[in-house]
Structure 1
């Protein structure tokens, strides 16, 4: 054991000596390893950061929630023509599900009214998206409030002229003023502001960007807008959360039965509604992220291959320069495996140094990209860093094996003569 540790120590010293004695040659040779590790681990880190952000955004909406809509999220866009005759889900569908689906814990309904301009004296917010929502909406989406509150039952059922503003809408209209109790105008109609939502922040995927919404009660929405539109891309949905202990599949079966009965569909007729889950998006994204990872391996693999041959070249030169020393060691009784380990470990050390440089570049790149974009934080995980070190070690073994074997097989007499 002591011999092996001594070989490792001497190999590290020799590897560092090689780097110091031939700086330019070593730098150019290790550059391929550095670039290869940077490409592969950089892509893996970027994809992991992106995936964590996307899945975190989707998780906020819950894995046990069914979104009943006209169009399936999993459908090929080329086939959307078949949805033209489908009716949009409506308030009556919502009432049926709320009253008859026993496996549901919570049911809410929302309908988009379109983009509006919100005005307060000379200030305004353009392109704020107005939603008419039922009373369970706040609980379903776990809305938090910077100020104020959601609609009371009395305000909801009366269809009172009251609204809840998204953070950015409130900031644009009121600035540093307290918005609660003040009236804004939308399409010439006055609405009292009773709440402001907390800032939800930027995200790669905002399934629903609450920073730029204006929420009104559904009872008010039906007074101020035509909600009977059957547009293919109409923003209308029923959201159903499964009760505790109830599987999503069980709830889907019950919803399907109740909706088919309500819509009087015959047994042989296809459903004219879609039950969407976040798992549909997650499954699609998994394939997308896998493609990005493969692309990173493909790009970085070429750089690593070049780097591997460069390190092998360094080792061949090192063997040639130390031929006489190898002969002396073997003449003094050094075993073949000791010479083999000496050069193999030296090759591994060189590749690990190149890999560490690549990981350092990844860390710098991730930190820089995180500063540039507010959408999500990018990071180098421990697993990816460990993978980089493992890859560097494997490359070192492959690059140093042939030169090390060549050195270990030298005849001591011939080696000393050279």
Structure 2
């Protein structure tokens, strides 16, 4: 019986191909939008996990501002109003199980000049351990060592974008660049790594890295934007995190105006933000699904009216209310399902186009999304096909046979 109802539904839909396709459009657009947007969101989450996972092992980060569980922080506000200081840095360094530590001073986006100009170089400064903390590789040259740090040398390590803009494809090692009105020698170049959204607006390819001692000498202050430190074992992460939090809270007169984050916390914070944004945008795209469902209901109501006599004949030869209801409900579900599959295909094509146009985010389609699309298809068909199906099932067979 079910197979026969599906065959009848497909035959009736095919008999009015254009009308059926136009009815499906809302579902097609809605499903394709949801597929593209959710896959972009999932792709962004995977990118964040990959970036944070590429940082040094057993890494903890202290940043200004309080981050509650599952919430984010205004990154811009922490750049100009850092509450961290050198005493905090020394106390972290002296904490048991801490193996290495580095501050991070962020000067911000400033012009850099060499053979050419680069308007938005991101100048940061740290200890020699900074390289291992962030786990970025050196393409050419070397990172500054402890002796060079102690001498506050005017040497920098530059990112891929800075190197290409200032020196093209030529060798940058030993070349002179001007940053912060001071001349520096390029000591090394960073392997291309791109943006790391795990802790702020950093793009490794835009970096100009100098010793913290040099930056302090030039700027006249020792502002600490972040403190990075590594622990000897993963098992000690929680205890060290707790100890450091207690120590710095005492330093700050009992006010916890900072947050100690582990790598899992970074993924969690970024993931929460992306989940909310993805759900919000997907919900907006889902409105077109509702519109598509209303279109299906409207067409099915018209179809019920047009086929009133057919309903009367079927009831006269023994069809029950359940048979009629099932037939029209299946028709609505088939329209919705076919529309969803076409929308899914369109969404996959959109994913392909995005992948070709940009390498910043690689969309990722999970099985959960696929199952959700199938569930949405049947859901729209049932919800918006039920009223027309009930109306058809309740038709009086005598009046239906008189219908002209």
TM-score, normalised with respect to structure 1: 0.76
Which of 254, 261, 264 aligns to 1:277? It is: 261
User: Which residue number in structure 2 is paired with residue 399 of structure 1?
Assistant: 384
1:135 aligns with 2:128: yes
Aligned equivalents of 1:295 and 1:115: distance in 2?
A: 31
Q: Name the CA shift for 1:87/1:307 in 2 (closer, same or farther; >3 Å).
A: closer
State the partner residue of 1:252: 241
- Contact kept, 8 Å, 1:101 with 1:258, in 2: the verdict is no
Which residue number in structure 1 is paired with residue 276 of structure 2?
290
Partner of 1:183: 175
Judged with a 3 Å threshold, the aligned counterparts in structure 2 of structure 1 residues 128 and 316 are, in CA distance, closer, same or farther, namely closer
Kept in 2, the 8 Å contact 1:131–1:216? The answer is yes
Inter-CA distance 399–72: structure 2 relative to 1 (3 Å threshold)? closer
Q: Against the structure 1 CA distance between its residues 417 and 386, is the aligned structure 2 distance closer, same or farther, given a 3 Å change threshold?
A: same
Q: Are residues 1:344 and 2:329 paired?
A: yes
Structure 1 residue corresponding to 2:24, chosen from 20, 30, 41: 30
Q: What is the distance in 1 between the residues matched to 2:398 and 2:379?
A: 33
| Equivalent-residue separation in structure 2 for 1:379 and 1:166 (angstroms) | 28
Secondary structure of the corresponding residue to residue 333 of structure 2: helix
**Structure whose CA Rg is larger:** 1
> Which of 188, 193, 196 lines up with 2:189 in the alignment?
196
Superposition deviation, residue 196 in structure 1: 0.9
Instruction: Look up the match of 1:390.
Output: 375
Does the Cα contact within 8 Å between 2:97 and 2:240 map onto a contact in 1?
yes
Aligned-pair distance for 1:363?
Answer: 3.6
Query: 1:217 is matched with which residue?
Result: 211
Give, in angstroms, the shift of residue 137 of structure 1. Answer: 0.9
1:177-202 residue CA offsets vs partner (Å, 9 max, x unmatched): 1223x231436766443321111235
String of CA shifts for 1:275-309, please: whole Å, max 9, x gaps: 342637844862674366246435633x4444333
Cα distance in 1 between the residues matched to 2:9 and 2:162: 64
Partner of 1:147, secondary structure, is: strand
Q: For residue 13 of structure 2, what is the aligned residue in structure 1?
A: 15
Contact 1:315 1:400 in 2 (8 A): yes
Alignment RMSD:
3.9
SS in 2 for 1:338: helix
Cα offset, 1:141, TM superposition: 0.5
Worse-matched range after superposition: 350-359 or 137-146: 350-359
CA deviations on 1:237-290 (whole Å, 9 max, x unpaired) are 3212333243544213322455567x5x7xxx3247623426378448626743
Structure 2 unmatched runs, 5+:
none
Q: What is the number of residues matched between the two proteins? A: 393
Task: Give, in whole Å, the separation in 1 of the partners of 2:320 and 2:402.
Answer: 19
* 2:338 corresponds to: 353
Q: Secondary structure at the match of 1:164?
A: strand
